[in-house]
Amino acid sequence: MSKAINLTEQLVARCVRGDERASLALYKQYVKAMYNVAYRIVGNQFDAEDLIQDAFVKAFDKIGTLKEPKAFGSWLKQMVINQSISLIRKQKLLKIKLHLNDELPEPELDEVPPDLPIEQVMKAVMELPEGARVVFTLRVIEGFKFSEIAQMTGLTENNCKVQFHRSRKLLNNQLKSKIYAE
């Protein structure tokens, strides 16, 4: 682990000095993970590719301002998430605001079936409505708090919680019906 951190730090230092091979090495180290982060938020390959290119160009351009080189990964990931949310907000796809009520429903237990293949779950997540998918992804997969999600998306914390509840319910039902259909 410490070796990996040292390597990242070294690559960042070389990158600051303008070493192109170090930039490529950093890119190879992070591109797949970052691409998937973007894909899970924006929901399509083309926007994810554009976002990742923008994020890496921006990151390499501003790498000299990075105070902790070992935090390159989380710095880049935050950049990718912010740009992804910004893109879907720009495209007015983030229809998170609920039209019915904004009240928090009673908590419901997840019914996660055992040995459920991740591909099947991810497919179901990607099929969730935009707002529900974004909040679910940021909360469950990326591990953000509701307050942080609210800040990033520009929604209220309560709205995020409602959206999260909705996503869980939809996901449970969707997977249940798929399992029963099989």
Partner 1 sequence: MPNSWEQYFEENRAQLDIHQPDEERMWQAIAERQKSGGVVKNWGFRIAIAIAVVLAVGVFVRHELMMQQQLDTLAAINKELAAKEHDYIMRVNQKWDEFRSLPSVETDYDAMLQEEIKILDDIYSKCLDDIKAHGYNERAVLIMLDTYEKRLRVLERLINEKRKQNKDEKKSNHIRI
Decide if residue 106 touches partner 1 (CB under 8 A): no
For 20, phi then psi, to 5°, come to -65, -35
Contacts of 72 (CB under 8 A, 6+ apart): 8, 11, 12, 26, 30, 59, 63, 66
E strand or H helix at 107 = none
Considering only the stretches 5-13, 16-24, 67-75, 90-98, report the one whose residues sit in contact with partner 1 under the rule CB under 8 A.
16-24
Nearer to partner 1 among residue 37 and residue 92 (C-beta): 37
Minimal distance, residue 80 CB to partner 1, in Å: 12
Nearer to partner 1 among residue 57 and residue 154 (C-beta): 57
Decide if residue 77 touches partner 1 (CB under 8 A): no
Angle at 39 between CA 33 and CA 41, to 5 degrees: 110
Tokens representing 31 are 């591109």
Which 8-state DSSP code applies to residue 127? Answer: T
- Out of 7, 66, 93, 122, the residue judged to bind partner 1 by CB under 8 A: 122
Q: How far is CA 138 from CA 6, 78, 90, 111, 166, in A?
A: 28, 11, 18, 20, 14
Nearer to partner 1 among residue 32 and residue 97 (C-beta): 32
List of residues contacting partner 1 (CB under 8 A)? 15-16, 18, 20, 23-24, 27-28, 31-33, 35-36, 39, 45, 48-49, 52-53, 56-57, 60-61, 63-64, 109-110, 112, 114, 116, 118-119, 121-122, 136, 140-141, 168, 171
